[in-house]
Structure 1
């Protein structure tokens, strides 16, 4: 791959109209066991509720703007401004935004001035209403907390399996998922699988032409999706959300500390690895990879 000084990859010089812009929408501080706990890490250890700030990792929180000839697709939203009203770390504001002290103990975040998704879209001359789709990879806070910042998008896509899973009763779900983040949005499309790609042969073909597929990668949550963007020549970019937290996740098959089903998580991670090492893969990115940098990939 060849990148320009502004971090843009320009493929072979052929203008296909496909690009992925990487936004960093703040950052999150977590226990090292949450992203890289491995197969024998349980939810208590993975959550890191007893891990002090000095032992935690700061990871980027990313969102991705996908542009194709069929339309614009935003993948995930990052943090809402009310997490950091003044652009700095704010414990009290975060607890209110996240909906509980317990979730704050797992995920501490901050989003600097100019870094919320609506602010960064505006810097690119775009409004939320210019988005044809917002795809939510899964409903964890650092992916869905900012949904109301893009409430004017034409459609917000959430897998029905993901919403059903988030609504299941139980102590963990009550802490992990906060319906207030998406309450009142009347443009949410709870979609069912219409395609057979991926580790479970469950996917959704967004435009009906195979260019943007939402591929179910369960394990971390039930309905989590990776987004695979494929240009006419078969080259693609894979955005695998929290199917793994970094390149090392699929390279070394390191599962995360928080998961619903470790065996499903490993199967999803194996698929991510297979996709990532293909010669047709231009880029493969997790949401929280420490190596992620804001850039544009044109392919």
Structure 2
């Protein structure tokens, strides 16, 4: 019997300008926003969430889109603007077919919100926290203190109403040997699930490293948008600090090439399909 099971879910899609995932170091906020990008040039990318089953724990990483952005499972401009604001709608459109929200997919495998021990919000971007209210009854919902502080200062980039009324538990990264900036948080205190700070896309973004018997899976979320990001060292177009973003991506590359890495996964990689990792 496997000791760890990781479900890789797709919870809808997001439509963005090519410069958001693959803008590189020389992109600018106008190109990344997509405000001047023709619809025909924009990309539809998957939005992922992950369920980690380990011993008696059920741990969810991010939430994907809420049903509110796509009430009938179809593209709905009005619903999206109401849910995420007109500005964010201009930058990233959404669609989530029926049955693909995280609560719908968890229900299909017999899991309710109250069964979830931890929801880990790697950062507070709209396509990562949109579905959080359907999981408000989870036992713990965690976000880094650095990320919440960053979100409060960057209101055009974030939609606070998505997590208003949710009991967010803040944690501080600790000084460790992990990650590009030697900052991490050991979720269970046994070094199996570590939240590793990878700033650059946002100040409080973290990767999730799941380790067992020296083998590991790395979820690096928006530290890069696909495997080609670290293979070709292409920075995402949205950043809070380009230098930190590059250093974080270099660490992702090093970890992904490590012989003990089973899989390393970006949140929006079109090559990654819904699957289950066991080890």
Q: TM-score, normalised on structure 1? A: 0.91
TM-superposed CA distance for 1:195, in Å, is: 4.8
Residues 245 and 286 in structure 1, CA contact (< 8 A), matched pair in contact too: yes
Secondary structure in 2 aligned to 1:167?
Answer: helix
For residues 264 and 56 of structure 2, the distance between their equivalents in structure 1, rounded to whole angstroms, comes to 22
For residues 63 and 150 of structure 1, the distance between their equivalents in structure 2, rounded to whole angstroms, comes to 13
Q: More deviation in 43-52 or 123-132?
A: 43-52
> Map of 1:214-293 to 2, 5 A cutoff?
214-231=195-212, 233-293=213-273
> Map of 1:88-103 to 2, 5 A cutoff?
88-98=74-84, 100-103=85-88
CA distances 1:155-208 after superposition (whole Å, capped 9, x unpaired): 00100000001111xxxx22211111111112x210011351110111110000
What corresponds to 1:126 in structure 2? 111
Which of 40, 43, 58 is the matching residue for 2:44? Answer: 58
TM-superposed CA distance for 1:265, in Å, is: 0.3
What corresponds to 1:136 in structure 2? 121
Secondary structure in 1 aligned to 2:107?
Answer: helix
RMSD over aligned CA atoms reads: 0.9
For residues 4 and 204 of structure 2, the distance between their equivalents in structure 1, rounded to whole angstroms, comes to 26
What corresponds to 1:154 in structure 2? 139
Q: Which structure 2 segments of 5+ residues have no match?
A: none
For residues 208 and 44 of structure 1, the distance between their equivalents in structure 2, rounded to whole angstroms, comes to 43
Asked if residue 206 in structure 1 is aligned to residue 187 in structure 2, the reply is yes
What corresponds to 1:76 in structure 2? 62
Secondary structure in 2 aligned to 1:251?
Answer: helix
Which structure has greater strand proportion? Answer: 2
Q: Which structure 1 segments of 5+ residues have no match?
A: 1-14
For residues 127 and 94 of structure 1, the distance between their equivalents in structure 2, rounded to whole angstroms, comes to 26
TM-superposed CA distance for 1:68, in Å, is: 1.0
For residues 282 and 23 of structure 1, the distance between their equivalents in structure 2, rounded to whole angstroms, comes to 18
Count of aligned pairs between the two proteins: 278
Residues 83 and 97 in structure 1, CA contact (< 8 A), matched pair in contact too: yes
Could you list the structure 1 runs, at least 4 aligned residues long, displaced by more than 4 angstroms after superposition. none
TM-superposed CA distance for 1:52, in Å, is: 2.0
Residues 118 and 128 in structure 1, CA contact (< 8 A), matched pair in contact too: yes
What corresponds to 2:34 in structure 1? 48
Residues 195 and 205 in structure 1, CA contact (< 8 A), matched pair in contact too: no
For residues 54 and 104 of structure 1, the distance between their equivalents in structure 2, rounded to whole angstroms, comes to 17
- Over 3 Å counting, the alpha-carbon distance change for 1:193 and 1:70 in structure 2 is farther
TM-superposed CA distance for 1:150, in Å, is: 0.8
